[in-house]
Amino acid sequence: MFGIYLKRELGRRKKAALVIALGLALGIALVITVNSVSAGMTQAQGKVLKSLYGLGTDMTVTKAQSAPKAGSSQGPNFKFDAKSSKKTTQSSDRVMTQGGQALSSSLVTKVAKQNGVESAVGAITLNVTKVDGSFTQGKAKSSTSSSGSGSGSGSQQQGGPGGGTGNSSSGGQPQVQGGGASFNVNSYSVAGIDIGNQELGPLATSKITSGKTFTSSQTSAKVAVISKSYAKSKKYKVGSTFKISGTKFTVIGIATPDSSESTTDVFVPLKPAQTLGDSKNKVTTIYVKATDSQQIATVKKTIQKNISGTTVTTSADLASTVSGSLSTASNLATSVGKWLSIAVLAAAFLVAALLTSSAVSRRVREFGTLKALGWPSRKVTRQVVGESMVNGLLGGALGIGLGLAAAYAVTAISPKLTAQLGSSGGGGGMVGGMGGPGGGPGQQSTSNTMEIALSAPVSLTTIALAVGLAVTGGLIAGAMGGWRASRMRPADALRSVS
């Protein structure tokens, strides 16, 4: 009787049942969509951090760049001689360390011995600025003929004819004409890594897709692994050679980063990198893996306490510096999105409860009659709750369908969001040779912008949450209606007029 009565009653009140179900469906769909998009954003942020931070790295140890002395310059300095012919090209590399002040390599061992540290490796991040081009002398000429010399000094801009000084006069005074500079500036990042432990550090975020990675015998070898995008731009392949500051390196492998962009263009073994950067036995970043990922904060405190003068940055610290549309959208999803879905859900529950209660009020005579026939209150209440539960489950099924469709649509469209991770050099544990050309005096500001495609993964937990909400909605409505039905007296059956 319970099932038949329930089915017939819901069939009689199809419109009202549909209104209740749709209201619940909307709230549940919104919860699923917001949850899925939030999960997608968390994944995207994780990808951003992983690509910058290194897979397996729980924290980094760095040292903030110290303030330069007055009058000194930390920028690269280039000197070129003016040549007589445009066809003579010159080239100069300037290699500068990035990511903060250099730390002694012995600190790596000290960090590795701290409580809670599973392993630690050091890496040095360099920025190489290469200027090459032609620098030609001007020629001094009188009004009929001119000769002379001038000098062109290298500058960091494309130049035209111009050059030195001269004076002119109509009385045969020499004037400098011609000369100038035409040059290219190329900047790229180099990471010197500990090839004994490549699972930790800048190369850990990439996969070797061509050639091979470093072997243990290559600690001092002049070999390099190039990022895929850099190799493409320079037309390098396995076996190609190139020079850094006059030292020739051979490409042994091409690495494809796990995320959309790599922050490092060239990976070389640590020792050659230290030589290039004139930083023997120095590293700029120590990558640390904790034995227990739940104890990262504790390990951070231990390192800070026992190794003074350093900055320890965890993934959580980096996460707070992420800006850009990914960060904005993520904040929107967690704040506005969350509260909006709660508000819609609460409204849906209220509508369901009110409509159910109203329907029970209209069935006073029916329920009063059943009680007059000897139906106990609990049987009548069970009927009402059963009808509400079916409405709730129907709403849940519709909501799950709508929510899945919305999440699928987001994943299919895959909107691109940007993530900008910005911090001061040495203070934020920036890794992987980030940043542009070396900055001027004072602390360097480095930032990296990445583009991430957003997806909206739907987990089983989210589906279970949706089902739970549907059941809750049905129970709330049923409780409201059931309470009304339980209070009805059989005498009402005789008094009520249809």
Partner 1 sequence: MYRLTGVTKRYSRGKETVEALRGVDLTIEDGDQLVIQGPTGGGKSTLLQMIGGLDRPTEGSVELDGVDLARISEAKLTRVRAEQIGIIFQSFNLIPTLTAQENVETALVPLGVKPAERRERAAEALSSVGLGERLSHAPSELSGGQQQRVAIARALVKKPKVLLADEPTGNLDEGTRDDIMGLLEGLWREYGLTFIMVTHDSSIARRAPRLATIKAGQITLTEQSFVQY
What does the binding site for partner 1 look like in residue numbers (CB under 8 A)? 1, 4-5, 8-9, 11-12, 365-366, 369-377, 379, 489-491, 493-495, 497-498
Q: Which is nearer to partner 1, 339 or 483 (CB)?
A: 483
Complex with partner 1: residue 1 or 460, whichever CB lies closer: 1
CA dihedral 7, 8, 9, 11 (to 10 degrees): 90
Amino acid, single-letter form, for residue 46: G
- Rank residues 12 and 232 by Cβ distance to partner 1 and give the closer one: 12
Q: Measured from the CB of residue 359, what is the shortest distance to partner 1 in angstroms? A: 12
- Transcribe 193-245 into DSSP letters: E-TT-TTSSGGGGEEEEEE----GGGTT--EEEEEHHHHHHHT--TT-EEEET
Measured from the CB atom, is 14 or 69 closer to partner 1? 14
Token readout for 375 is 């139906």
CB 463 within 8 A of CB 400: yes
Cβ(98)–Cβ(126) below 8 Å: yes
Residues 6+ positions from 262 with CB-CB distance below 8 Å: 51, 205, 206, 227, 228, 229, 230, 255, 432
CB 52 within 8 A of CB 318: yes
Closest contact distance (angstroms) between CB of 497 and partner 1 is 8
CB of 9 to partner 1, least distance (A): 5
C-alpha to C-alpha distance for 261 and 450, rounded to whole angstroms: 7
H or E stretch at 319:
helix 315-319
Least CB distance to partner 1 at residue 5 (A):
7
6 versus 185: smaller Cβ distance to partner 1: 6
Report CA 410 to chain centroid distance, whole Å: 18
Smallest gap from residue 398 Cβ to partner 1 (A): 24
280/487 with CB nearer partner 1:
487
Write down the least CB distance from residue 361 to partner 1, Å: 16
For the CB of residue 362, give the shortest distance to partner 1 in the complex, in Å.
11
Strand partners, 311: 62
Q: Which is nearer to partner 1, 224 or 493 (CB)?
A: 493
